[in-house]
A and B are shown apart, each in its own frame.
Chain A
């Protein structure tokens, strides 16, 4: 039995704030839970706050990319916010640049980016 990452709804945005060192099973559960919540709520955006994460390894990096891809298919844009500078430097050296994932410096900018996307209509569709 592992803990689950809470998913909060604020307007039409789902907020995932990762506050603990993630076990692999929690990462898998989060993918499933979030996909279901997007469908249940019709959310247009997902913000994943990783400011508390001290490291992002290839497993978590892949999870972020997968979540962004799944969300897009379900009609929601994902923005990853709050990555620490040391984490960013390590991720790039590891070989993961998160090319398909939108990022913003903090929660406020992330929500702002989603709002602009929504107001302009989805990009590329």
Chain B
């Protein structure tokens, strides 16, 4: 699932629906709390929460709603936070294009996906037209 060396252990997993604007705010707060628990630095917390905010809004706006799953992960002595968003929406026909800075299907600035990828340490995007979108970000404590 995740690239890198060694198995990933997961704890403190939580899920939340993303079906309304208020859920985007709630998702940010949940990710912030978990990032603090995982002892990410303030800057890394801010980057992860910002990435999660972009992805949660994408889930709502383009995916027609979905859910978030977040957990503390550890691998080879490192601890981090993994946040995943899944929707059953129309999917993304061209992943490379969607990850291009400035490209937008209409409503945004085109920084959501590409920006989230830059802010995270690990980024994974799986999407197929008609089958929804699954996107994962991981931020490791330094």
In the complex, how many residue pairs between chain A and chain B have their CB atoms under 8 Å apart? Answer: 70
A90 CB within 8 Å of chain B: yes
- Mask: chain B, 87-117; 1 = CB below 8 Å from A; 0 = not: 0000000000000010000001101101100
Main secondary structure of the interface of B (DSSP, over half): helix
Residues of chain B contacted by A10 (CB below 8 angstroms): none
Bitwise, B33-64 to A at CB < 8 A (1) or not (0) is 00000000011011101100110010000000
Provide the main secondary structure of the chain A interface.
helix
- Cβ distance B67 to chain A, nearest Cβ, rounded Å: 18
Q: How many residues of B contact A (CB 8 A)?
A: 26
A58: shortest Cβ distance to chain B, in Å?
4
25 A-B pairs with C-beta separation under 8 A: A21-B28, A23-B22, A23-B24, A23-B25, A54-B32, A54-B49, A55-B28, A55-B46, A56-B50, A57-B57, A58-B54, A58-B115, A61-B109, A84-B46, A85-B43, A86-B45, A90-B46, A90-B47, A90-B119, A93-B47, A93-B115, A94-B50, A94-B111, A95-B115, A95-B118
